Amino acid sequence: EPEVTQTPSHQVTQMGQEVILRCVPISNHLYFYWYRQILGQKVEFLVSFYNNEISEKSEIFDDQFSVERPDGSNFTLKIRSTKLEDSAMYFCASSGSGANTGELFFGEGSRLTVL
């Protein structure tokens, strides 16, 4: 069964360091997303990406965050200068035809710990 894969599964970093979280969406999918879940809280939308550009972003997704699809298979989330409050589980998701017409597939998540 096709799946979304994320790496690393867990990353520990020092405050102020740059972090790149990687995702390989399902190969024929066109819509890509990043969500995050701070421990004990709701899952929150960060950004959606379609046709090689950001289609929507939340207020959380400020200038410290960026996304890229560098090679047609990977979808990355970069946090330029991490803060303590960036500690969370980050989920990548993809969809073939958009989340309101097709199923969403989530990765297992990347746990980021900022010290």
Partner 1 sequence: KNEVEQSPQNLTAQEGEFITINCSYSVGISALHWLQQHPGGGIVSLFMLSSGKKKHGRLIATINIQEKHSSLHITASHPRDSAVYICATQGGSEKLVFGKGMKLTVNP
Q: What is the dihedral of CA 100, 101, 107, 109, to 10 degrees?
A: 0
Give yes or no for a contact between 113 and 13, defined as CB atoms under 8 angstroms apart: yes
Cis, bond preceding 8 (omega within 30 deg of 0): yes
14 versus 53: smaller Cβ distance to partner 1: 53
What is the C-alpha to C-alpha distance for residues 54 and 37, in angstroms, rounded to an integer? 20
5 lies in the site for partner 1, by CB under 8 A: no
Q: Which DSSP letter does residue 85 get?
A: G
Exactly one of 7, 45, 78, 96 binds partner 1 (CB under 8 A); that residue is: 45
Q: Work out which of 55, 73, 81, 113 binds partner 1, going by CB under 8 A.
A: 55
Q: Could you say whether residue 65 binds partner 1 (CB under 8 A)?
A: no
- Give the total of residues touching partner 1 (CB under 8 A): 30
Pick the piece of the chain touching partner 1 (CB under 8 A) from 21-29, 47-55, 66-74, 79-87: 47-55
Q: Which of 39, 74, 72, 68 is nearest to 53 (CA)?
A: 68
For residue 25, say if its preceding peptide bond is cis, omega within 30 degrees of 0. Answer: no
Q: Which stretch binds partner 1 (CB under 8 A): 15-23, 53-61, 67-75, 76-84?
A: 53-61
Report the interface residues with partner 1, using CB under 8 A.
31, 33, 35, 37, 41-45, 48, 50, 55-56, 58, 89, 91, 93, 98-109, 111
